[in-house]
Amino acid sequence: MIDAMLHEDHVATLDIINKLEVRIGNGKWDRRLEPSVPSDRLLLEALIAMMDSEVRHHLPFEEKELFPKLDDFGFEDVTGMLFDEHEAIRSLIASLRPLSDAALAGGFREDSWKAFHGFLADLAGLVIFHIQKEEMGIISRLRMLLGPDECQEMASTYTALLSKSR
């Protein structure tokens, strides 16, 4: 069912943010990652995979398939706000993605690290807030709103989208 699939995406995204927070957060998100250290490299690769998955699958699916169905139930104000947050998330990812690639290739310098952890802290705050809203406002009542058949159909659509772009 689509509610479970989107929920799994949300949990996976929160998981990588949480791991990064534990590693570099310390309340300030500024303890430098060292991509030459294997565990840091894995974290950076997981962050890149998460950003790619958001931009390629999760956000477009919600915008093209989910939000229009919710609008039929009078959710335009909610989906409009969520769409604006998607745009802000995409814009932060557009800044963070090249910095992450460069770090994988050659590590961080002081200036690139400062830019990276600034964007990462902003992205983390925005994404956590956004997921909370979607989980509480939409995912928790999606099956009741759309019904099980529609939820199953959307799950098939999302599965097809995921397999096409992998």
Binding site for Fe ion (CB under 5 A): 62, 134
**Residue whose CB is less far from Fe ion, 16 or 103:** 16
Closest distance of CB 7 from Fe ion, Å: 9
As measured in angstroms, the least distance from the Cβ of 124 to Fe ion is 15
Structure tokens at 54: 């958001």
CB of 95 to Fe ion, least distance (A): 19
Least distance to Fe ion, CB of residue 6, Å = 6
Q: Tell me whether residue 33 or residue 70 sits nearer to Fe ion (CB atom).
A: 70
Which of 15/101 has CB closer to Fe ion?
15
